[in-house]
Each structure stands twice: as structure tokens, then as C-alpha cells.
Amino acid sequence: MASIKELSRREDKLAGGHRLCAGCGASIAVRQVLLGAGDDYQIVAGCATGCLEVSTTIYPYSSWKVPFIHNAFENSAATISGVEAAFKGLKAAGKIPGDKKMKFVAFGGDGGTYDIGLQSLSGAMERGHDMVYVCYDNGAYMNTGIQRSSATPKGAWATTAEVGKAQQGKTQKRKDLTSIIAAHNIPYVAQGSISEWKDLAAKAEKAFAVDGPAFLNVFAPCPRGWRIPYNQSVSIASLAVKTGYWPLFEVVDGEWAMTTKRVTRENRLPIEDFLKPQGRFKHLFRPGNEALLVEIQADVDRNLDYVMKRAGL
Amino acid sequence: MATQKTLAATGNVLVAEAMRQCAPDVMAAYPITPQTTIVEEFAKFVAQGRVHTEYVTVESEHSAMSACVGASAAGARVMTATSSQGLALMWEELHIASGMRLPIVMANANRALSAPINIHCDHSDVMGARDTGWIILFAETAQEAYDNTIMSVRIAEHPDVLLPVMTTLDGFITTHSIDRAQVMDDETVAAFVGDYHPDLALLDDTKPPVSHGNFAGLGGPYFEFKKAQRNAIDRSAAVIKSVGEEWSAICERPFGVIEGWGMEDAELAIVAIGSTAGNARHVARELRAQGVRVGVLKVRVFRPFPFAEIADALGGCKAVAVLDRSESFGAEGGPLFLEVRSALYDRAERPAIVDYIYGLGGADVKLELMRRVFSDLSDIADGAEVPGRLVYLGAR
Ligand SMILES: Cc1ncc(C[n+]2csc(CCOP(=O)(O)OP(=O)(O)O)c2C)c(N)n1
Ligand code: SF4
Ligand SMILES: [Mg+2]
């Protein structure tokens, strides 16, 4: 695992000057992951349509200092699997030296990963391409104006899960995508957060070192969509971890383990600590929604129990 | 020395054979009737170690074309094949492949679109893709499907073009019927298609890294990119011709963008694409033997559409029938009719022209139907009323 000193000496592969909002979690996620990946291999990156893509590739500019491809919204995984296949095919043709090492990474938002791109991702993972898929999860379709996704937490406001007399934000629970990908029995799956840079960089290092498919689900707050000040993205991400809303774990060859400052049922903070600072949850604290808060806390605890159990704790 | 051997094989086997000979670096495909035997045949080549191709068995056609886009941008020679619902599922990616100027070659086994579900031949699938920016070739026979596949690689990868090419053959009629065809030796095909040397490939580390698929909104150059794409497909017309001449000199078969039979002095003509051209020609021969001046005009290249050639070929006719094997619901006629009639618009002398929609969902294209069309044309030439702007030929 690289020290912070080593990480600081590595070249950023995503240049500043892009047009993501100040405090956007997406660019932090990309930079931490690509710094963690290290400089041992050349990297080719892809990205699904979404905030990250439209804000980093405004023609004729590009923030990507590695070869990059955007194709469409639902197919970042299939596209990068094609790039990886080309690498193998060109090696077989003798056009790329047989001993050359390259790594392929696909980025996608939660919409492009949990929802519309799930099939493409599942297919790529099952086929066993030598690639890392990174979901930057900001819990909604931010690029199109904060619509709900299957990653949006229950109770959150979104522009397609409104708050009114008849409804208090999103009525469904979020999907546990990381477990779904773990069920593909691929060599490496992990959940990280931009607030835990060391943990995330280490996970990225492992994911890139794997020969075969790896998946990282990175918690990446969106100040604009979560209705938080732009300088609070990292602290909110940290509260997601400390409340157990976003457990940090990894699954290495089928073995689950919780990572970093282990958050358990005993030491977790109450979920209100994560919800209260965010405008998208403010209706939950109005009189009449007490039961909903209890329900949300119970869901968080159940998920935490599940992860702890899988990790043998 | 080019040597050819005569084979008895289905259109799909011959397309797979042509693909093997063109040696793609990547093939990403998903099965669908009646394309399936192409990807099955290719899977055998992979298992036998006869190709170096990385064969990506994707989970859908959308992913097939997505992977093709990634692989082509990476710098590989890329091929795939599909049909019907599969082509429809790719629609979004078809535009992306052409917009990113990627020389992907795809075979399409022409088949009807649901609903109701039907696996047989018509051209609804391809015609639905006619404005996606792909070059589109139609084969009449298995032989032509073989030849078109080989030529497609050269056309697509030509530096003046850099566009994807769809090489199509009629479902079952051509994909599954065993036909006699000449297959060229591997070395000659390899030399003819040559090596692919892309500019700006993702995997080319001799140049600074490139970004593909950038955002061009916010007053960006989207409009100008589309103009460049239009210029490229216009330029492809000359490339299609010269590649056709070059391949023709090697294999001794002709490859006009259109192919006329009896058109030199025809008064009555049928315009057709795909396998039906053969049916029409059969009946035309009968009528010629009786002294009727009939002709058949086959259109091999649908995009870019050979407007001038078609107008020249039909200019001297009295009455023309266009056979459309697909609908353009609510339009003045089927897709081929719209193009042909438009091609004639600038001519001072214009023949009477009728559209026949035929053979949808694999409805039989019987010779009687062709006879009826020529008979209608003869009546029209003699002054009868044009039988409505659009006739459903042979529908019960
Ligand atoms: C097929 C298709 N459907 C819808 C869209 C519109 N669209 C573009 S980005 C986006 C949402 C992206 O959400 P997410 O993946 O979570 O990324 P974020 O913008 O939040 O970073 C949507 C709905 C599209 N581009 N393509
Ligand atoms: S809307 Fe949210 S996800 Fe999009 S750029 Fe702004 S902060 Fe980032
Ligand atoms: Mg999102």
C-alpha cells in the first residue's frame, strides 16, 4: 500500500479545470482510484454518460491524461470490455508485444451502473475481462437534474420522488449492488468512500492488481443534489461510513472482510447524524415522519448485520 | 496467384468464411435467427485456432455494438453480425459507431421486425437503420454476400471514408439456402484487405493519449461533425466503385453499385434489392423471349444511394415498378420507392412509377407476382391509370 507521500508524488490522471461542481465527489473518487492504481501499468479509461463524463470531456478539451472513451449511458462496461478485447486481439495479431501490460477501467454513475447499465456490467463481469469497474455512487441521476435511481436512499427527496402530502420522498429501499456484483464470483469486489482515501486507494491498488474483473463501489456525494454546502462532501461521506449507512468492506475471492475503522452495530452513530445535515432529507424531521426514521434506522442496522455476518463477525 | 475454389454453401457459411479471411482482431456478437449460423461458424474457427480473433460473447446486441465501438476505437479491426430485433436493439449504438467514424463491418441477415414476431425475410430491420450513417450493401446471392463482406473491410477502413459498413443478405432465402459460390484463397483476400492502421487509436502509446466520444454540446461543433460525416459518406461512393473494380479484377465478377439487366432499351422496368432481383430477372427473361422490352435494375448499394446512376438507368423507361420489402408507414411509399422517385425528380423525362410492397415477414415472392407487376407496367405504358400510389403485392 502506497503511503500518502508516495501518492502525492504520483501524477494525477484527471486534470483540474474540468466543469464538475465545486466539491463534487465524482472527481475525488476518480483521482483517488487512479492514484491508488499506481504507475505500474498504462491505463485506458471509459466513462458512462453522466455528470463526470459531460464535465470532463468538453470538446476540444479533455481532463483525462490517459486514453479515454465515452460511448453512451448504459454501456461503459461493454465498451471497456471491447477495448480490453482489442488489446488481446492485437496481441494475438502481433501488433502489440505479448508482454505489454495495460489495465482497463470503466467509470459509471449509480444510474449508469445500478439501473440502465446493470446488464452490461453483469455481462462484462461474467465474461471475466481484465478490467476494473468503478461506480461513483451519488444516489441519483444528477446530470439530468436529481432524479431517483435504485441507489437513492429510502426517504430521500428527488425530482422524481417528490415530497408532498401523499409521499415523503423515495418510497423504496436502495438496491445492494455491491452484493449483486459479489455474487458474480469475481476475484475482487469492494465498497469504498471518498472520505477514507487510504482505504480507497488500497482497494484500488488491489482491484487493479487482479488478473480479471474487479468492481469498486465508491460513495461520492453530490453537493448540488444532496442540498449540502460544497465544502461538506467529504464530511458527509465520512458520516455515511460512521453511521453504518455505507459499510466499508471487500470481497477477495469470495471472502468477505470489513475494512478500516470497523463500524459495527455497537459503535455506529445514529443514522440521523448522516441524514440531518442534508437538505434532501429535511422533510424526514418534520412531525409525523418519526416512524419513517425508525424504519430507515432499522434498514441500516439490518444491512450492517448482513455485512458483519458475511465478514464472519 | 489468385485461386478460387467452388463451394456449395449457405450464405451465412460464406459470410463467416469471408470474415475469417479478413482476420478481425475482435468479433463481438449475439445470436439471433437467421444470423446465428454466422456466429456459430465463427465460433468454430475460434475453437479450431484458425483465427487470432478475440471473440466476445456479449450478453446482448446493445453490448455487441458497444464492445465493437470500444474495440474499434482501441485500434482493432472489428466485425459483428446481427438481424432484426438485434439490429433494432443496437440502434443507439449504430449512430455512435458512425458518429465516432469507426470502420466496423457488420453482416445483417435481413428479417422482419416484431410485432407480430416473425423470423422470416423482409427489409424492415435494415431500412430502419438507413439513416444511421452506415454504408449499406445488399447482396442478391450467397456469392455476393461473400464478396460484399470482403469489400466492406476495404471500404470502411479507407482513409477517405472511415465509416461502418453493413453488409446485408436476405434471411433464410440467402442466409440458409445452399448455393454455389467461388471462394478466394486466404492469401489473396489477406493481401486485398491489407492491414488496418488506425489514427488516434486508444491503444497506440506512441502518441499522446486521446479522448474519444467527447461532449460537443454548448455551442460546440456537433453540427460541423455531422457535416464531415455527410462528406465522408459522399466520398465513399467513389471508394465503393474503385474497391469494386479492384475486387472484380481479381475474382472476375462484376460489382456495380447498380446492376441492370436489359436496361439498355427497356421500356418497363422493375427496381429491386436483394434476392428478389433474381425472381424479377427470371420473369424478365421469359418476357424478353416474347419480345417485350423489359428490364430489371438491382440496387446493390443503398447508402450512399446511387441517385445519378439510377436516374440514368431508368430515364428511358415508360413505366417503372419499385419493389419494397419494407414499409415506411404513413409515407408516400416504401424506402426504396422514396429514393428512386426522388432520383428521377430532376429529369425532364420521367417514367410513370409505382410502388409495390411485397414479401413482408417472408411472404412468398412467387414468379406470378413478378409477371403481374410487368403486366401492370405494360398496361400503364399503354395509358392505363397508375394503380394507386402503393400496391400491397400478393397480400390476401
Ligand atoms: C439511453 C439514455 N437514457 C437516458 C439518458 C439521459 N441521461 C443522461 S445522464 C443520466 C443520469 C446519469 O446518472 P448517473 O449515472 O447516476 O450519473 P450522475 O449524473 O449522477 O453523475 C440520464 C438519465 C441517456 N443519456 N441515455
Ligand atoms: S450535480 Fe452533483 S454529481 Fe453533478 S457535477 Fe455537480 S456535484 Fe457533481
Ligand atoms: Mg448519480
Residue ranges of chain B whose CB lies within 8 Å of a chain A CB? 23-26, 28, 52-54, 56-60, 62-63, 66-76, 78, 92-93, 96, 202-203, 205, 209-218, 220-221
Specify whether B181 is located in the same domain as B307.
no
d(CA B333, CA B339): 10
Specify whether B188 is located in the same domain as B269.
no
What interface predicted TM-score (ipTM) does this complex get?
0.97
CATH number at residue B316: 3.40.50.920
d(CA B94, CA B80): 12
Specify whether B172 is located in the same domain as B236.
yes
Among A59, A83, A127, beta carbon nearest to B220:
A59
Residue B296 lies inside a defined structural domain of this protein: yes
Give me the number of domains chain A comprises. 1
Q: For residue B64, what is the enclosing H or E element?
A: helix B61-74
* Residues B227/B134, Cβ–Cβ less than 8 Å: no
Q: Which residues surround ligand 3, an ion (CB under 5 A)?
A: A 109-110, 138, 142
pTM above 0.90, yes or no: yes
Residue B208 lies inside a defined structural domain of this protein: no
Residue B46 lies inside a defined structural domain of this protein: yes
CATH number at residue B240: 3.40.50.970
In degrees and rounded to multiples of 5, residue A189 shows phi and psi of: -135, 135
Burial of A220 (0-12, 13-18, 19+ CB in 10 A): buried
d(CA A46, CA A134): 10
B230: domain range? 4-198+219-251
Most B CBs within 10 A among A34, A59, A107, hence the mutation to make, goes to A59
d(CA A245, CA A303): 8
Specify whether B121 is located in the same domain as B193.
yes
Q: To the nearest whole angstrom, how far is the Cα of A69 from the nearest Cα of chain B?
A: 5
* Residues A53/A109, Cβ–Cβ less than 8 Å: no
The answer, yes or no, to whether the previous bond of A247 is cis (omega within 30 of 0) is: no
Q: To the nearest whole angstrom, how far is the Cα of A93 from the nearest Cα of chain B?
A: 6
**Cell (9 digits) for B387:** 394503380
Q: Quote the pLDDT of residue B52.
A: 98
A14: domain range? 4-310
Position B220 pLDDT exceeds 90: no
Specify whether B30 is located in the same domain as B147.
yes
Average pLDDT, integer, range A258-269 = 91
Give me the number of domains chain B comprises. 2
Q: In this structure, how many other beta carbons lie within 10 angstroms of the beta carbon of residue A297?
A: 18
Residue B207 lies inside a defined structural domain of this protein: no
Q: Quote the pLDDT of residue A164.
A: 97
Render pLDDT for B29-88 as a digit per residue (tens, 0 to 9): 999 999 999 999 999 999 999 999 999 999 999 999 999 999 999 999 999 999 999 999
Residue B247 lies inside a defined structural domain of this protein: yes
What is the average pLDDT score of chain A? 97
Average pLDDT, integer, range B298-323 = 97
Specify whether B245 is located in the same domain as B325.
no
Specify whether B299 is located in the same domain as B233.
no
Render pLDDT for A4-37 as a digit per residue (tens, 0 to 9): 899 999 999 999 999 999 999 999 999 999 999 9
Q: Quote the pLDDT of residue B235.
A: 98
Render pLDDT for A70-118 as a digit per residue (tens, 0 to 9): 999 999 999 999 999 999 999 999 999 999 999 999 999 999 999 999 9
Specify whether B314 is located in the same domain as B359.
yes
**Cell (9 digits) for A109:** 454513475
Q: What percent of chain B has pLDDT over 90?
A: 97
Specify whether B46 is located in the same domain as B141.
yes
Q: Quote the pLDDT of residue A261.
A: 72
Average pLDDT, integer, range A126-153 = 98
Position B387 pLDDT exceeds 80: no
d(CA B7, CA B4): 9
Average pLDDT, integer, range B161-169 = 98
Decide whether any atom of ligand 1 lies within 6 Å of the A144 Cβ.
yes
N-term to C-term CA, chain A: 25
Q: Quote the pLDDT of residue B185.
A: 98
Specify whether B127 is located in the same domain as B239.
yes
Q: Quote the pLDDT of residue B388.
A: 73
Closest CA to B94 of B141, B136, B57: B136
Q: Which residue has the higher pLDDT, B219 or B383?
A: B383
Render pLDDT for B283-293 as a digit per residue (tens, 0 to 9): 999 999 999 99
Render pLDDT for B234-256 as a digit per residue (tens, 0 to 9): 999 999 999 999 999 999 999 99
Position B115 pLDDT exceeds 90: yes
CATH number at residue A150: 3.40.50.970
Q: What percent of chain A has pLDDT over 70?
A: 100
Position B266 pLDDT exceeds 90: yes
Specify whether B155 is located in the same domain as B279.
no
Render pLDDT for A152-163 as a digit per residue (tens, 0 to 9): 999 999 999 999
Q: Quote the pLDDT of residue B1.
A: 82
**Cell (9 digits) for B78:** 472489428
* Residues B167/B108, Cβ–Cβ less than 8 Å: yes
Average pLDDT, integer, range A236-241 = 98
